[in-house]
């Protein structure tokens, strides 16, 4: 089985600051893979390196569906099928819910019927967005904005979805709904790379996980084993 994403010995620097010291990871077809680690471990850096948003790769390779993508322009990477949901959502606050969603389809040369079908899929997944179709994005609640960010990424019709801290700042009940949606999205076959501080929630939905510490991968296992791991429970779930 070919991996959807394969990162080999990736080094990344912001100027003089080394953020990734040679990390390797892979995502197989249909998998949810989570990247765990404390503040400043390099999780967001890994996602931005993949989507090409920051230039800082000094060594190593990133392959997407067998094709090397490091050095490729970010809009081309997005066009190839990698959707990146940013930390803090970054929706267009003045645009309506529907306009925000349509921005996701902007790079596609899809027929309007396909786009309309995808919009329906997003509205089925998040009926709340349908109800608020004409409302300005900036007036939505945090949870609704997260749904919108997810929906906009899905309108790209991606082949890989990358999520950066989808639970950030949301109440537990809302987080539950977001994770249920993530699971449902994945059940349609879409592989997901998930960065999440809520380690428990991430491991509940993920197939596998990698543990990142100060720019190096210090462990990787099935989500089931990571959930039972004493060190993970102590370091990232605050359990003794
Ligand atoms: P968090 O959950 O706190 O966002 P993270 O694991 O996502 O943490 P990164 O944001 O990837 O961590 O940061 C990794 C390292 O790179 C940190 O030491 C950080 O200070 C540094 N860094 C991140 N962004 C920049 C930047 N734009 N310029 C310089 N250094 C940066």
Per-residue pLDDT of the chain (240 residues; tens, 9 = 90+): 589 999 999 999 999 999 999 999 999 999 999 999 988 999 999 999 999 998 899 999 999 999 999 989 999 999 999 999 988 778 898 999 999 999 888 777 667 888 999 999 999 999 999 999 999 999 999 999 999 999 999 999 999 999 999 999 898 999 999 999 999 999 999 999 999 988 999 999 999 999 999 999 999 999 999 998 887 777 777 665
2 CA to middle of ligand 1, Å? 30
Q: Which of 18, 44, 163 to mutate to test the pocket of ligand 1 (most atoms within 8 A of CB)?
A: 44
50 CA to middle of ligand 1, Å? 15
Strands (E) in the chain, as ranges, are: 5-14, 17-27, 32-36, 57-64, 67-68, 82-85, 160-164, 192-195, 208-213, 216-222
Please state the atom number of ligand 1 nearest to the C-alpha of residue 197: 2
232 CA to middle of ligand 1, Å? 21
**Which among 193, 198, 141 is positioned nearest to 168, based on CA atoms?**
198
* 8 A C-beta contact, residue 219 and residue 213: no
Nearest residue (by CA) to ligand 1, atom 3, is 39
Q: Which of 20, 39, 45 to mutate to test the pocket of ligand 1 (most atoms within 8 A of CB)?
A: 45
215 CA to middle of ligand 1, Å? 9
What is the 8-class DSSP label of residue 165? -
**Which among 3, 5, 64 is positioned nearest to 194, based on CA atoms?**
5
d(CA 13, CA 174): 35
Nearest residue (by CA) to ligand 1, atom 16, is 19
Residue written as token pair 């306009």: 99
d(CA 155, CA 149): 10
Please state the atom number of ligand 1 nearest to the C-alpha of residue 165: 2
d(CA 189, CA 184): 9
Q: Which of 43, 55, 194 to mutate to test the pocket of ligand 1 (most atoms within 8 A of CB)?
A: 43
Please state the atom number of ligand 1 nearest to the C-alpha of residue 44: 7
19 CA to middle of ligand 1, Å? 7
List alpha helices for 188-237, DSSP H. 199-205, 223-228, 230-236
| Helix, strand, or coil (residue 222) | strand
Angle at 21 between CA 20 and CA 25, to 5 degrees: 75
As for ligand 1, residues whose beta carbon falls within 6 Å of it are 14, 17, 19, 37, 39-45
60 CA to middle of ligand 1, Å? 19
pLDDT number for residue 239: 61
Structure tokens belonging to residue 173: 């009940």
């Amino acid at each position: 089985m070919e991996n959807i994403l394969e990162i080999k010995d990736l080094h990344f620097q912001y100027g003089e600051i080394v953020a990734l010291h040679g990390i390797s990871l892979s995502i197989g077809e249909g998998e949810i893979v989570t990247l765990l680690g404390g503040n400043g471990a390099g999780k967001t850096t890994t996602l931005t390196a993949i989507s090409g948003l920051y230039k800082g790769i000094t060594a190593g390779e990133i392959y997407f569906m067998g094709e090397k993508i490091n050095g490729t322009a970010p809009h081309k990477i997005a066009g190839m099928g990698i959707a990146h949901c940013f930390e803090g959502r970054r929706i267009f606050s003045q645009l309506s819910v529907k306009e925000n969603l349509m921005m996701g389809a902007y790079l596609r040369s899809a027929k309007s019927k396909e786009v309309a079908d995808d919009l329906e899929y997003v509205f089925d997944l998040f009926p709340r967005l349908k109800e608020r179709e004409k409302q300005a994005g900036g007036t939505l609640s945090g949870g609704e904005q997260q749904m919108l960010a997810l929906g906009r990424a899905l309108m790209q019709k991606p082949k890989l979805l990358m999520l950066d801290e989808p639970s950030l700042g949301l109440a537990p009940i809302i987080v539950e709904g977001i994770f249920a949606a993530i699971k449902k999205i994945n059940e349609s076959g879409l592989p997901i790379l998930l960065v999440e501080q809520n380690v428990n929630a991430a491991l509940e939905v993920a197939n596998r996980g990698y543990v990142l510490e100060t720019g190096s991968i210090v462990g990787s296992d099935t989500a089931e084993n990571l959930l039972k791991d004493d060190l993970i429970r102590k370091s990232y779930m605050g359990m003794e």
